[in-house]
A and B are shown apart, each in its own frame.
Chain A
């Protein structure tokens, strides 16, 4: 046994406890070690992922030698493994991007990198764990790291955004805890597979109460309407790399847990329709708000919320093809939004007012960054030959197959809105007249590298989507195979 899923939790925690001691040796180690850890984890995720795909069996890791449901177990299946690989890959790029990020130097870097590493640990933990209370604990780890990172800069309204986030986030975790309490009183277990097995014994009224509490609590993390008030502020006031991490890790973990509750744990009729309706409302309202924004990062944040609404719609359709499209869109959203936030941060740093209208002509001052931003914008609105095209196409096709024609109309109209506001920014970047040619902050080497990798991924997947569709297809199959999940986890009990 060389690598196992528990490394995703144990290694970063060990490193986090070690870093304060390493800081006494060298300040540089504080920056390097989190990167090494995250890099190691992405290697582990690739190894485990190939193992899972080759054998076709998920890896169930038992903690403390107690087989589920008596102990906590981690599940590294094609579905969770896909998300974890995506998260660690994005986290590694974010680390490269922020390694020499100028503004981190003036505040204590030690804290930034440990907090970032714990954010990654919390998000991967949420995805891996097979125990509902353990999910709550990891959610709190993610949340506290996220609050502290949002308030990291002192020259912005970070504390306001962080408090707003904390208020909504604590509310969410309180609801989630309440849901766990009620659920425990009914089924007497915390293991998700066993809950799924016993959920049919719960009286209908109680089931709906618990389900509502879960959906509201987790919907906050997943940026579902109307509980996403925290997102625009948190995205725009936090340091640039942290915004990327929110889009690529935290929200993904939130969507994952929502999907796990709806697809695996509960068997409520109408839950899927509920997801579609909430997703559609979220998408429409967020995209219209994005159109109205004058601040670039807020615009990106609303666009991110809109995309999450789109993901919820696709999950709500519930067919295999739609789930496939949703997972593909999650992948694309992480990669493309990552690129947009990374390049957008540099655009914002070179525009003291942070307003879109003042970004005129930056395309000539910062050709590289503007190119990446334009590439990301073209990809996210779903133009061929970029990767965003494929996910949108698959979801539309799935909607057509399930004959949700009104949904297709909504998605197409929303896409036009998206095109309008992204092209407006691009028009400013390339066809505006620059006010001066002072470059306030050039992108660092690491930044260009990270953005270059993401741009390459977008183009390569766009031309040749087969590189990932195999993984995504098996992930979608795994998610929809509820009986398989229950069996795989609980068969260990009888050994």
Chain B
């Protein structure tokens, strides 16, 4: 009975979505002529290189045009790592024997991880430092670094990322982001407004505050995701 109702609902949803998508032609150019800037996207494509000197338009949108979204997004991750700690928190009881949830890994994985780990960190750092020039940026780089730490946690059972280092990195990166935003406000402009010289296109030092913010985001995301993984991996089974 319930199944029938659900299938009916799915049919209704599917039908309305399909009819809705009939009106949206695939691959059609909806931006209009970039020159008359009828849509927001056309404006971005047209002006990013001159006004911000950033080659990756997506980075410009994420960090500057819609910077408030990114600030919110970073705080969502921050909240998730905080909430995870609060949800899974429990008092430590006396005489509790704890067993890690991961099984010991093979020698091969251990040796390999040690070798690959620095390379992953480098890749992650590269991705977020060049966020304004090439695909990638703070979120991608941060996630890559977090996978590096994950590899180490899986290879070595007793591998621990120092909690206080994570807190410091996370807080300082967050303060950098919000602080740069506030600095723009204090200079008499608006929140998150660019106040640095924008440099020349396709240089590493270009884009004003965008690379700085994206690097801060990279550190913050890396710390937050590592913190989430650390909290989850250290839930202990009692034996």
A residues touching B (Cβ–Cβ < 8 Å)?
Answer: 1, 4, 6, 9-10, 13-14, 16-18, 20-21, 24, 61-66, 69-72, 107-108, 111-112, 114-115, 118, 121, 125, 129, 131, 133-134, 137-138, 140-141, 144-145, 147-148, 151-152, 154, 159, 162, 182, 185-186, 188-191, 203, 205-206, 209
Contacting residues, chain B, for A10 (C-beta < 8 A): 71, 178, 181-182, 185, 191
Assess the A61–B174 pair: CB atoms within 8 A: no
Using an 8 Å CB-CB cutoff, how does the interface string of B146-186 with A read, 1 for contact, 0 for none?
00000000000000000010011011001100110110110
Dominant SS among interface residues on chain A: helix
B101 on interface, CB distance cutoff 8 Å: no
Assess the B30–A17 pair: CB atoms within 8 A: no
Q: A13-B75, A141-B72, A141-B76 known; 13 other A-B pairs, CB under 8 Å?
A: A10-B185, A16-B75, A17-B178, A21-B171, A64-B191, A65-B189, A125-B72, A131-B66, A133-B69, A137-B76, A144-B80, A148-B83, A188-B32
* Interface-lining segment among B36-44, B117-125, B131-139, B196-204: B36-44
Assess the B24–A188 pair: CB atoms within 8 A: no
Contacting residues, chain B, for A186 (C-beta < 8 A): 24
Using an 8 Å CB-CB cutoff, how does the interface string of B20-36 with A read, 1 for contact, 0 for none?
10011000001110000
Q: How near does chain B come to A357, taking the closest CB pair, in angstroms? A: 33
Partner of A71, one of B66, B79, B178, B181: B66
CA A112 – CA B85 in complex, angstroms? 11
Contacting residues, chain A, for B178 (C-beta < 8 A): 10, 13-14, 17
Contacting residues, chain B, for A6 (C-beta < 8 A): 185, 190-191
Q: How near does chain A come to B45, taking the closest CB pair, in angstroms? A: 12
Assess the B67–A64 pair: CB atoms within 8 A: yes
Using CB atoms, name the residue of chain A closest to B166: A20
B residues touching A (Cβ–Cβ < 8 Å)?
Answer: 16-17, 19-20, 23-24, 30-32, 38-41, 43-44, 64-69, 71-73, 75-76, 78-80, 82-83, 85-87, 89-90, 164, 167-168, 170-171, 174-175, 178-179, 181-182, 184-185, 188-194
Contacting residues, chain B, for A69 (C-beta < 8 A): 40
Assess the B79–A154 pair: CB atoms within 8 A: no
Question: Given contacts A13-B178, A17-B78, are A1 and B188 in contact (CB under 8 A)?
Answer: yes
Partner of A70, one of B17, B40, B168: B40
Assess the B23–A13 pair: CB atoms within 8 A: no
Assess the B68–A17 pair: CB atoms within 8 A: no
CA A4 – CA B188 in complex, angstroms? 11
Contacting residues, chain A, for B181 (C-beta < 8 A): 10
Assess the A188–B40 pair: CB atoms within 8 A: yes
Partner of B75, one of A70, A141, A205: A141
Q: How near does chain A come to B114, taking the closest CB pair, in angstroms? A: 30
Contacting residues, chain A, for B82 (C-beta < 8 A): 111, 114-115, 148
Assess the A108–B86 pair: CB atoms within 8 A: yes
Give 7 A-B contacts (CB < 8 Å), ordered by A residue: A10-B182, A13-B75, A70-B43, A108-B89, A115-B79, A138-B72, A144-B83
Instruction: Give the one of A9, A71, A115, A144 with max B CB within 10 A.
Output: A71
Contacting residues, chain B, for A121 (C-beta < 8 A): 75
Assess the A188–B72 pair: CB atoms within 8 A: no
Assess the B192–A63 pair: CB atoms within 8 A: yes
Q: How near does chain A come to B131, taking the closest CB pair, in angstroms? A: 17
Contacting residues, chain B, for A182 (C-beta < 8 A): 20, 24
Assess the A65–B193 pair: CB atoms within 8 A: yes
Contacting residues, chain A, for B66 (C-beta < 8 A): 71-72, 131, 133-134
Partner of B179, one of A14, A112, A206: A14
Assess the A18–B171 pair: CB atoms within 8 A: yes
Question: Given contacts A21-B167, A138-B72, are A1 and B185 in contact (CB under 8 A)?
Answer: yes
Assess the A107–B86 pair: CB atoms within 8 A: yes
Contacting residues, chain A, for B182 (C-beta < 8 A): 10, 14
Q: How near does chain A come to B59, taking the closest CB pair, in angstroms? A: 13
CA A186 – CA B23 in complex, angstroms? 9
